A and B are shown apart, each in its own frame.
Chain A
Amino acid sequence: MSNVPADLRFLKSHEWARLEADGTITVGISDHAQQALGDLVFVETPEAGRRVAAGEACAVVESVKAASDVYSPVGGEVVAGNADLGGQPELINQDPYGAGWIMRIRPDDKSQFAALLDAKAYEAALAAETH
């Protein structure tokens, strides 16, 4: 069973989002997603300053099995990509909700964050997916 922290928001496509104190939103992929992908070998993070729309593919996670797009949960401007992933993509496997974060985005409209799935709804989506 994968770990779904109660304080995060999620997308059905398995990204998580956390609203930080400074109003930015940190994005990564869920524990379920990293388990499904297996050992990550490469992560392509977006450049700071890039404008992204909600639902736009803006990062790529590549494992020994597959390469998948990571979608932005909100529209806004990329504040930072996690540079540590360049040399250590395995951070996502080890700590998907912490050191394995992928990007930080300054949202144009905070209500988009509020509209994301909460932990309960994401767990329900996971349950529906596996049955």
Chain B
Amino acid sequence: MPFIPHTADDVREMLAAIGAPDIQALFDEIPAELRARALDAIPPALSEMEIGRLMSERAAADGQRLNFIGAGAYEHHVPAAVWAIVTRGEFYSAYTPYQAEASQGTLQLLYEFQSMMASLTGMAASNASLYDGATALAEACLMAVRAHRKSKSQRILVPAAVNPDYRAVLQAIAGGQQLAFELLPYDPRGGVTTPASLEKYRGEDITALVIQQPNFFGNLEDVDALTDWAHAAGMLVIAVVNPMSLAVLKPPGEWGAKGADIVCGEGQPLGVPLSSGGPYFGFMTTRMEHVRQMPGRIVGRTVDLDGKPGFTLTLQAREQHIRRSKATSNICTNQGLLVTAATIYMSLVGPQGLAKIASTCIQRTAELVAALGNVPGVRVAFNGPRFHEAVLLLDRPVRGVLEALAARGIVGGLDISGEYPSLGNALLVCATETRTPADIATYARALAEVMQSAAAA
């Protein structure tokens, strides 16, 4: 579809037709004090040549560091074919197409994406994506309140082992809508949420329990026991999952006796590069009984007047252009381009490829933990099963160690001492399939040097 902008003549004709002297006059009814003033903090415009130079310099400042941070965003190999296909003109729009008659290709792709996510999470229905993983969790909590009509409390249990950034976003988005979040402690030995910690809520009106698998520490929660406990207590279960892990872990639709009710998470691991923190995309799937409460666009397969199969947006009556303030969500941004990448990525690697990548991640994480855990002054915090990442405890503040590693070209992990003070000097490290045994050896050697020199100092 070509984009044809208005010419100056078009604009003049349109203004003449409605009797407005200029475009500015169209905004006259907005009081002056409500209008945005000039953006003084924005520097003057640069030419293409100047901006190209500036961006190359900024990118060069990042360098080619060896990265061992995960914490919600993961460095995976993205086959070159993925973005070569995504950037084709036919796909290159970030927005959901409303016009089924002009957008069958994109709609079919979104439909395939939904089918893949439903299958990966073990749920009946998927939307066409959300803004990112953290906002998807906030949307899932709001959805749980709408879906769980017997529960009046709007109270939701959130383990401390859920990504702290997600918890902050949850508070920012849903806290202002009268949802109350109760923090559940984690077991200091296992680094997981235990059903025992839930006992004090038995008999109370709680809308939902959030379970992140793997949790922020990389540990695997006992999802079956937690899910069954929550269902027995009359709560819904919201699963937050890393889609890559689902190639080897039990899908949330099979957790416990009944499975999770709403599943959400960050889609970035599926073909989206790290790219300085975004853009990423969120996903959400659910049981059929809750599908009308699910926010966001849903593409459905149907037949046209002649009985030929086709794709179109469906269940739109729930959305803001019809339901106004009562819509299921007013942030149903569809991250179309990133979803296109994820769909192509999953198609290229296939179910077996995805399982192989996930298994390699587990293998590399085990190697990393073994290598770093042997360094004097370092011990491994938790010893249960894990995926992707692990918490290390250092005998000194993490920050200085990370700075010394950075000087050696290594991004050594995320300092989580501030978020989890009771852990002490805690460092969250991650290895995906992109970290080779040689990379891991390089990190272990560098860490040993840093720990030794600082100890001597």
The chain A residues found within 8 Å of chain B, CB to CB, are 41-42, 44, 47, 62-67, 69
| Residue B317 is within 8 A (CB to CB) of chain A in the complex | yes
Known: A42-B292, A62-B317. A67 touches B150 (CB 8 A): no
Complex Cα distance, B326 from A62, in Å, reads: 13
Q: How far is the CB of B100 from chain A (nearest CB, A)?
A: 14
Asked whether, in the complex, the Cβ of B323 is within 8 Å of the Cβ of A67, the reply is: yes
Closest to B293 in A: A44
Q: Which residues of A contact B322 (CB under 8 A)?
A: 66-67
The chain B residues found within 8 Å of chain A, CB to CB, are 149-150, 292, 317-318, 322-323, 326
Asked whether, in the complex, the Cβ of B150 is within 8 Å of the Cβ of A63, the reply is: no
Asked whether, in the complex, the Cβ of A66 is within 8 Å of the Cβ of B326, the reply is: no
The 8 Å CB contact of A66, one of B149, B150, B292, B317, is B317
Closest to B146 in A: A44
Chain A contact residues, majority secondary structure: strand
Q: How far is the CB of B305 from chain A (nearest CB, A)?
A: 15
Complex Cα distance, B318 from A97, in Å, reads: 26
Q: Which residues of A contact B323 (CB under 8 A)?
A: 67
Q: Which residues of B contact A65 (CB under 8 A)?
A: 317
Q: How far is the CB of A72 from chain B (nearest CB, A)?
A: 16
Q: Which residues of A contact B150 (CB under 8 A)?
A: 47
Complex Cα distance, B348 from A97, in Å, reads: 56
Asked whether, in the complex, the Cβ of A69 is within 8 Å of the Cβ of B317, the reply is: no
Q: Which residues of B contact A42 (CB under 8 A)?
A: 292, 317
Asked whether, in the complex, the Cβ of A69 is within 8 Å of the Cβ of B326, the reply is: yes
Asked whether, in the complex, the Cβ of A63 is within 8 Å of the Cβ of B317, the reply is: yes
Asked whether, in the complex, the Cβ of B317 is within 8 Å of the Cβ of A47, the reply is: no
Q: Which residues of B contact A66 (CB under 8 A)?
A: 317, 322
Complex Cα distance, B292 from A70, in Å, reads: 17
| Extra 18 A-B pairs, beta carbons < 8 Å, given A67-B322, A67-B326 | A41-B317, A42-B292, A42-B317, A44-B292, A47-B149, A47-B150, A62-B292, A62-B317, A62-B318, A63-B317, A64-B317, A65-B317, A66-B317, A66-B322, A67-B317, A67-B318, A67-B323, A69-B326
Complex Cα distance, B417 from A30, in Å, reads: 63
Complex Cα distance, B149 from A69, in Å, reads: 16
Closest A-B pairs by Cβ, 5 of them: A67-B317, A62-B317, A67-B323, A66-B322, A47-B149
Complex Cα distance, B64 from A9, in Å, reads: 75
What are 20 A-B residue pairs whose CB atoms fall within 8 Å in the complex?
A: A41-B317, A42-B292, A42-B317, A44-B292, A47-B149, A47-B150, A62-B292, A62-B317, A62-B318, A63-B317, A64-B317, A65-B317, A66-B317, A66-B322, A67-B317, A67-B318, A67-B322, A67-B323, A67-B326, A69-B326
Complex Cα distance, B115 from A44, in Å, reads: 27
Q: Which residues of A contact B318 (CB under 8 A)?
A: 62, 67
